[in-house]
Amino acid sequence: MSNAAPARRRSLRERIGFRERIRDRDTAVYGILILLALMFPLVSYNITEGTAWISHATRAGYWVLLAIGLNVVVGFAGLLDLGYAAFFAIGAYTYALLASPQLASSPANHAVHISFWILIFVSLMMAALFGAILGFPTLRLRGDYLAIVTLGFGEIVPQLFYNFDQWTGGINAVGLIDQPLLPAWVQGPWSGDPEFKIVSPFNFNTDPVAYYVLVCFLVAIAVVLVTNLYNSRLGRAWMAIREDEVAAAAMGINTVTTKLLAFGIGASFSGFAGAYYAADVALVSPDNFLFIVSITVLVMVVLGGMGNVSGVIIGALVMYYLIFILIPGLPEIVTGFASNVGLGSLNQSTGDWPGLGEETQRLNFIIYGGILVAVMLLRPQGLLPSRVREQELKHAAVQEEEAAIEMSHA
Amino acid sequence: MSLPDYGFYILCGTAVILLAAQAVTHPTQFFQVFIFGLTQGAIYALVALGYTMVYGIIELINFAHGDVFTLGAYIGTTLLGFFAITEGTFTAINLIALIIVFPVVMLIMGGINITIERVAYRPLRNAPRLAPLITAIGMSFFLEGVMFLWRGPATVHFPDILPTQSWYVAGVFFGVRDIFVVVVGAVLVSLLAVFINQTKLGKAMRATAQDRDAAQLMGIDINRTIAATFFIGALLAGAGGIIWGLYYNTIYYQLGFRSGLIAFTAAVFGGIGNIPGAAIGGLVIGLTAAFSDSYIGSKWTQVVIFGILIGVLVFRPTGLLGMRVPEK
Amino acid sequence: MSEQPRDNILELTGLTKRFGGLVAVDNVSLHIKRGEVFALIGPNGAGKTTLFNNVTGLFRPTSGNVLFDGRDITGFKPHQVARLGIARTFQNIRLFDYMSCLDNVRVGRHVRMKAKVWDSLFKLPRERREEERVTDEAMEVLRFVGIAKHANQYARNLAYGQQRRLEIARALATEPKLLLLDEPAAGFTPQEKVELMALVKKILNRGITVFLIEHDMKVVMGISERIVVLDHGEKIAEGSPEEVRNDTKVIEAYLGKSA
């Protein structure tokens, strides 16, 4: 074969830039996200003088984590998981039970308090383990059956947390969950303090910004790891299975173990997010992990642009804003608007008319459903679809060079 | 026979033996639960048929279908309000109202479902597979929103207009309403079976489910066939909604969510895409739910049903009667 | 027929595949010598692709054995078969549509790569080095089949002929000892067929044995050393192109008994 100088081939590969080029858009998206993430605490404090925005951002963070994890399963490997919230629940309960007084009132009769920094890995492992247990017998099934199995699993898990109430408190939820501790922390204007100071030791419940910083770190780590996987042997194997399972197997890919890895890794992200969630809200109840959670994460992934990590992050943020800020806030906006334009009388409830605010609130479902349908119809590929690779080579020079090489081979 | 098959038969066998033991030792309670399970199962069967037909023809889990079922009940109760019906007893007007309202609601639901298909699914027929799934979820929220906006978040009363006669036979209590539910369910399922097997449109539907491209080449109008599938699915769901209302007399806007999932389970249980399978799956799931409610405890019913779902898929992925989904 | 068994890269003995009552492959025995081009021909529905599927592990033979390189691989899973050194293309092209050509070929390298999950997750240096090497190797293969300039395009955006080439490239990337080509010339122009025959020769020069199904007699006669003819799942003839061309049974199978 061609023994054309390896140095030249290498430079060629760099110029074609398989990796670099697709990162153009990603670099921009990530750059903007990092910038916003850095500025956010400071700005939100100065504007609102409160922590409402920060806690919104914190909560948006775990949705982002969930979406990144589900994207591995759905976007990369093409496996439809409709019970993703189950792994989230497993992660959250792992942390909640092992870092709260809960087990003192259980048959174990002994409260356990293990550090957050250890349990976050334990939660991750637990979720991955259950992912593997569920996946092992079911992943040889065709795609749609898997969706149905996961749907069933997602329905069973929260119900089990209800039913084993001796251990989990059932409907009463697990409360008083420990907060993460750190040896030291820096507070400053971003936490409402006019001056910098070092707090030591530091408990996360004293500063909401701490959770924000933590989730930003977790998201950043998740993005790096998932992007690494995407560009690896395993990532390509996932996509190959997504595109054509038979051909993938014929190329030597063990489809069962490869799918199991996608399932386990996806679940582990969910477990990781679950531990963080349990610490942040300090109260974990089975109601937090119903089918609607799985669906919401799926919507974030599909809406953002399946398979594309940066798109999925955007999708999660947009959907979070929509579901948890914009739509619940609509009644206030509408009544305020009505008062301002002199239609304040509409805000009162009279007879059958429940008042404009109430009426708007009742419209929530319709608005949300309508948005889902509309966005999918307008952009079936998602907001930021996966541009797996550049479709055309940008550099004519490279093309010519390749053509020349081909000629010489012919 | 392979290992999964044995597993499947062992599981089924164990369940049958346990139930038989109950039937012998406590026959009264057993048959009481059986009757309740049968009525529930008949309703699930009607809803499951819609899931299975749609899945069979376009491989979409139509999440909005459970809400079509609920909306049928909502429209039904509203229409019944226009008649001078008498609750708690059975009058001629009640009968006339039922005879009129049943087909009208079914047709309305058919029309609504065709519209849903036209607006939310048809434009996405060649889109990525998950896009229609998301619009289905969106339509589910939308329909729930419509019912919420229309009748509010509380439960809604459905008129109690069936005959109230009931009998004790060997200590087992059953009423006309039980018979009504099972008979109407059976009649509708039989009509559907005749339609699918005998009519030209039914054949077109089966052909399209087998191989859409080939069906198109044979001159079948795919759009029309798919629309017809949605129409028929909604006819049954609408009827199911009214039956549910007549039987339980209470409906609420999120009813379709849970019962939809259960009906879907029934469809999978019978072998998704398989029409008789869905009917039998509905009955089996209804009976399972009833037996689980009374022998295991209602808080375990959901675990039992979805556990069965997973078990069936693991041990017998083609469902009870075999999957009729074409191989790619 | 007195070769030592070691000279045969693939031996099928009494291979039978039934689907319900239908016998798709009926007691077929054949052997392929290392380094030859061997063709399987026969009318439509003769069971040629089914035979391929039995060799590559997509189907499990109802009875009979598949011996590859002296090793019994009957009932092996597709990925195991690929790992041992059998690669294939498909009659209806089955590429990874929404992956670039380069990635399609890199998937082919999968089976010869070592990176484990941890290596990829943390992008360890050895994973990085392997990726670079594999990218170079994949480009090399793309160049070998002559579509390197499309490396960055989605597989689905290639022209038909290029897709066929890409599928061959992907199969070659697995470093097969035996390459199964399922109707590689289907839908080709005469010019493309000539190019394909040249490509097969090049593949042969790399020491890879080629086993192909083909309808186009010009291609078959032009490149194959030995031919087996299948009809209704049964082997009806075997021999050199000349022998097969003059075989009465073969003529009957193709032209009908009335001829």
Which run of H or E residues covers position B73?
helix B65-80
When pLDDT is averaged across residues C139-162 and rounded to a whole number, the result is 92
CA of A223 vs chain B CAs: smallest distance (Å): 23
How far apart are alpha carbons A338 and C37 in whole angstroms? 82
pLDDT tens digits for range A193-219: 777 778 877 888 778 888 898 999 999
* Interface membership of A260 toward C (CB under 8 Å): no
The two tokens of residue B26 are 């406590």
CA of C87 vs chain A CAs: smallest distance (Å): 7
How far apart are alpha carbons B90 and B99 in whole angstroms? 13
The two tokens of residue B203 are 């054949």
Q: What is the DSSP string of A166-206?
A: HHH-GGG-B-SPPPPEES-EEE-GGGT-SS-EEESSEEGGG
- Chains in contact with A, where contact means 3 or more Cβ–Cβ distances below 8 Å, are B, C
- The domain spanning residue B251 has which CATH number? 1.10.3470
Which residue has tokens 């679809």? A385
SS (H, E, C) A333-357: HHHHHHHHCCCHHHHCCECCECCHH
Q: Average pLDDT of chain C?
A: 90
The predicted structure's pLDDT at residue B22: 83
C77 and A254 within 8 Å at the Cβ level: the answer is yes
B145 and A367 within 8 Å at the Cβ level: the answer is yes
Topology of domain C5-85+176-255, CATH: Rossmann fold (3.40.50)
Cβ-Cβ contacts under 8 Å between A and C: the total is 160
Max Cα distance, chain C (Å): 69
Q: Average pLDDT of chain A?
A: 83
- Chains in contact with B, where contact means 3 or more Cβ–Cβ distances below 8 Å, are A
Domain span at residue B123 reads 3-315
Nearest CA in chain A to B306: A152
The predicted structure's pLDDT at residue A198: 81
Cβ proximity of B189 and B46 under 8 Å:
yes
Q: Which of A197-211, C29-43, C85-99, C148-162 has the lowest mean pLDDT?
A: A197-211
Q: Considering the domain boundaries, does residue A352 fall inside one?
A: no
pLDDT tens digits for range C197-252: 999 999 999 999 999 999 888 899 889 999 999 999 999 999 999 898 888 888 88
pLDDT tens digits for range B131-170: 898 899 999 999 999 999 898 888 999 999 988 888 888 8
Q: Considering the domain boundaries, does residue B327 fall inside one?
A: no
User: Which of the 8 DSSP states describes residue B325?
Assistant: P
Q: Considering the domain boundaries, does residue A115 fall inside one?
A: yes
The predicted structure's pLDDT at residue C30: 93
The minimal CB distance from B307 to the residues A156, A306, A362 is found for: A156
B124 and A156 within 8 Å at the Cβ level: the answer is no
3-state secondary structure of A120: helix
Angstrom CA distances, C259 to A222, C42, C231, C250, C254, stand at: 70, 17, 16, 11, 9
Q: Pairing relation of β-strands B166-169 and C8-19?
A: unpaired
- How many domains are contained in chain A? 1
The predicted structure's pLDDT at residue A396: 40
Q: Considering the domain boundaries, does residue A276 fall inside one?
A: yes
Which residue has tokens 């800020």? A325
The minimal CB distance from C106 to the residues A229, A236, A249 is found for: A236
* pLDDT > 70 fraction of chain A, expressed in percent and rounded: 86
How far apart are alpha carbons C84 and C73 in whole angstroms? 9
C120 and A228 within 8 Å at the Cβ level: the answer is yes
Q: Side chain identity at A390, as an amino acid letter?
A: E
A306 and B130 within 8 Å at the Cβ level: the answer is yes
- How many domains are contained in chain B? 1
Best A223, A243, A246, A405 residue to mutate vs chain C (most C CBs within 10 Å):
A243
pLDDT band for position C60 (cuts 50, 70, 90): very high
How far apart are alpha carbons C15 and C68 in whole angstroms? 14
Sheet containing strand C37-41, strands side by side: C86-88, C178-182, C209-213, C37-41, C226-231, C234-239
pLDDT tens digits for range C189-206: 999 999 999 999 999 999
Q: Considering the domain boundaries, does residue B320 fall inside one?
A: no
The minimal CB distance from C83 to the residues A18, A252, A265 is found for: A252
C87 and A250 within 8 Å at the Cβ level: the answer is yes
Q: How far is CA A108 from the centre of its chain?
A: 34
Angstrom CA distances, C230 to A109, C99, C255, stand at: 74, 36, 14
Neighbours of A336 (CB within 10 A): 13
Taking 70 as the threshold, does the pLDDT of residue A391 lie above it? no
How far apart are alpha carbons A231 and B308 in whole angstroms? 39
* pLDDT > 70 fraction of chain C, expressed in percent and rounded: 96
Taking 90 as the threshold, does the pLDDT of residue B211 lie above it? no
Q: Considering the domain boundaries, does residue A257 fall inside one?
A: yes
3-state secondary structure of A51: coil
The minimal CB distance from B303 to the residues A160, A362, A372 is found for: A160
When pLDDT is averaged across residues A124-134 and rounded to a whole number, the result is 93
The minimal CB distance from B135 to the residues A147, A364, A372 is found for: A372
The predicted structure's pLDDT at residue A24: 66
B303 and A368 within 8 Å at the Cβ level: the answer is no
Angle at C171 between CA C149 and CA C105, to 5 degrees: 40
* pLDDT > 90 fraction of chain C, expressed in percent and rounded: 73
Q: Considering the domain boundaries, does residue A383 fall inside one?
A: no
Q: Considering the domain boundaries, does residue A330 fall inside one?
A: no
* Interface membership of A18 toward C (CB under 8 Å): yes
The predicted structure's pLDDT at residue A7: 44
Domain span at residue A151 reads 20-308
- Which residues belong to CATH 3.40.50.300 in chain C? 5-85+176-255
Q: Considering the domain boundaries, does residue B321 fall inside one?
A: no
Q: Considering the domain boundaries, does residue B132 fall inside one?
A: yes
The predicted structure's pLDDT at residue A393: 35
